[in-house]
Amino acid sequence: MAKATYLLVVICGFYVSIEAENVLLPKLRSKRCSFNHKFESVGNYAFLVSPDYPNNYPSNKMCNYKFSSPEGTQMKLSCKDFNLQPSFNCQDDRFSVSTVGDENNVVVHCDQTQFEVQTQNNLLLAWFQSRFVEASEEHPYRFKCTITVVKPDDFTDPGGRPQTVEQGDNTCSCGKRNWEGVGVNHKIVGGVSALMGEFPWRCSLYAKNMGIFCGCTIIDNQWILTAAHCTNAVSPNEQLYVNVGDYDLTTTSETSNTVIRVVQIIQNERYSSDNQDFDVSLLRLEHPVQYNEMVQPVCLPWQFRSKSFHGAMVTASGWGTTTEGGQQADILQTVDLPVLTTQECQKYYGSRITDNMICTYQPGKDTCQGDSGSSVDYYDPITTRYYAVGVVSWGLGCAEKNDPGVYTKVTHFLDWIQANTQVEFCRPRQRHQRVRGKK
Ligand SMILES: [Ca+2]
């Protein structure tokens, strides 16, 4: 019941937290650490300070900053008082900046070196993240930066014209993992905590009598993918909810998660609770989810229908237990797992493995209870996107020897998903290479 109480708090927290935004100029300070601000003219400036400045910033903060200035102007970001808690590979505390208005093109600052950069257009995007901060007495872990609107320098913008968001990109985007390629290494034994917003398509299922009981995946702003054995566990008179944009389930202050009612459950009509075949369900939301940096859909694997994924690595993420029979994780966990062939998997489980399933196996690494319904995602280097290729379904134990994890094979259900949702899903083309400037 503790979980049920918690969720009500979440719902209240969401509505309350909307107000305190845009308390700005000249000092950017508020309880909410994210800002979205438009400057009016050249010479305008603002201070950007870390949460709780001038004291140590708190643990587990994720702040997004977006500044725009009038067309034809640029912005100078000057961080003179800059002292982040050091971490290996920048994987914990970090301040990332894009001077080209592109979240895929960022420079990460994660030390004590002051810096100054200038945008190439009239957009400045930045992100601050802290993990577990051990208070520093001498020099507080903090930053203070000044953002000033300036006239463009004499040099010509190498891109030729101001780079703006690509047409269609806002309405059709999927599978963009945050923090990708900024020095994060997840390939360690067992799972590790994800970064805030790292898997913006990851969601969880909640019902009053069950608490948070399964994972899920955003595939469209009104449609959620999950496992049939999750929806099958919900009694007909129980209201189901989807919780999106969350990270730490014990607090509502780290992200603005949203809880949305499910108005339709489409459980695969051929689902069998005997052998977990056809273990897939779709949920239609009462209203569309609002996309932002922390809430985005995953891509569906349309172009991978004939791919076996044998030997490929897939990435799992969820709030499931971190040991068999153990406690649910508070913070989203992630692990990379190798895919087996059906034949290899049948060596372990025999004919229980149908053509609708894929398996992963690596001793010591697995998905576990509570991860059910979450996707495992395949990274395609061509489109640089993540594709949901499996739905966490079943296994004997977790991460045990000779017991692979089993997943619903999403490529087998694409037509079923299409027929039931009638959505025009995003199908990224081979662009978004990280190439800039002219040759
Ligand atoms: Ca939370």
* Model pLDDT for residues 49-103, shown as the tens digit of each residue: 888 777 888 888 888 888 899 999 999 998 888 989 888 777 788 888 988 888 8
Count the Cβ atoms, other than its own, within 10 Å of residue 418: 14
Percent of the chain with pLDDT over 70: 82
Q: What is the structure's pLDDT at 285?
A: 98
351 Cα to the center of ligand 1, angstroms: 41
**Phi, psi dihedrals of residue 212, rounded to the nearest 5°:** -80, 120
| Consecutive H or E run containing 145 | strand 142-150
- Within 8 A by CB and 6+ apart from 415, the residues are none
Query: β-strand 385-394 against 405-409: which pairing, if any?
Result: antiparallel
Per-residue pLDDT at 19 exceeds 60: no
pLDDT band at 424 (very low <50, low <70, confident <90, very high): very high
Higher pLDDT pick, 7 / 265? 265
206 contacts 212 by C-beta, under 8 angstroms: yes
> Can you tell me the distance from the alpha carbon of 224 to that of 265, in angstroms, rounded to the nearest whole number?
10
Which region among 16-25, 188-197, 320-329, 414-423 has the lowest average model confidence (pLDDT)?
Answer: 16-25
pLDDT for position 204: 96
Q: Which of 65-74, 333-342, 409-418 has the highest average model confidence (pLDDT)?
A: 409-418
Is the pLDDT higher at 322 or at 203? 203
Answer yes or no: is pLDDT of 327 > 90.
no
Between 30-34, 120-124, 339-343, 392-396, the lowest mean confidence (pLDDT) is in: 30-34
pLDDT for 404 beyond 50: yes
* DSSP secondary structure code for residue 217 in this structure: E
Average pLDDT over the chain, rounded to whole?
80
Closest Cα to residue 288, out of 263, 265, 266?
A: 263
Does residue 236 carry a pLDDT above 70? yes
Query: CA-to-CA distance for 264 and 226, rounded, in angstroms?
Result: 13
Look at the block and give the residue holding tokens 């040099």.
Answer: 155
pLDDT class for 283, splitting at 50, 70, 90?
very high
Q: Which two tokens stand for residue 378?
A: 């395949």
Structure tokens at 44: 């305008």
Answer whether 294's CB lies under 8 Å from 197's CB. yes
CA-to-CA distance for 7 and 383, rounded, in angstroms? Answer: 36
Q: How would you classify residue 402: left for phi > 0, otherwise alpha for psi between -120 and 50, otherwise beta?
A: left
Which of 144, 197, 148 has the alpha carbon at shortest distance from 317? 197
Torsions phi, psi for 89 (to 5 deg): 60, 20
Query: Helix (H, G, I), strand (E, B), or coil: what is residue 230?
Result: helix
Radius of gyration of the chain (CA): 23
How confident is residue 18, by pLDDT bands cut at 50, 70 and 90?
A: very low
Give the pLDDT score at 240.
97
Q: What is the mean pLDDT of residues 137-161?
A: 68
Specify the pLDDT at position 29.
28
Q: How far is the CA of 88 from the centre of ligand 1 (A)?
A: 25
Please give the Cα distance from 337 to 348 (Å, whole number). 17
| pLDDT at 310 (0 to 100) | 94
Between these two residues, 52 and 122, which has the higher pLDDT value? 122
The DSSP bridge pattern shows strands 62-68 and 35-38 to be: parallel
The winner for highest mean pLDDT among 140-149, 261-270, 286-295 is 261-270
Confirm if 248 and 195 have CB atoms less than 8 A apart: no
Active site residues per annotation: 229, 279, 372
| Longest CA pairwise span in the chain (Å) | 71
The rounded Å distance from CA 145 to ligand 1 centre is: 28
In the reported structure, the alpha carbon of residue 254 is separated from the centroid of ligand 1 by a whole-number distance in angstroms of: 6
Residue 332 CA to ligand 1 centre (angstroms) = 10
| Least confident stretch, 178-182, 243-247, 291-295 | 178-182
CA of 426 relative to ligand 1 center, distance in Å: 28
Q: How far is the CA of 343 from the centre of ligand 1 (A)?
A: 41
Least confident of 24-28, 215-219, 276-280, 353-357: 24-28
Pull the structure tokens for residue 427.
């199908």
| Cα 115 to middle of ligand 1, angstroms | 32
Contact (CB, 8 A) for 336 and 311: no
What's phi and psi for 348, nearest 5 deg?
-90, -40
How far does the chain reach from its first CA to its final CA, in angstroms? 61
Q: What is the pTM of this model?
A: 0.62
Strands 385-394 and 258-267: unpaired
**CA distance linking residue 371 with residue 394, whole number of Å:** 10
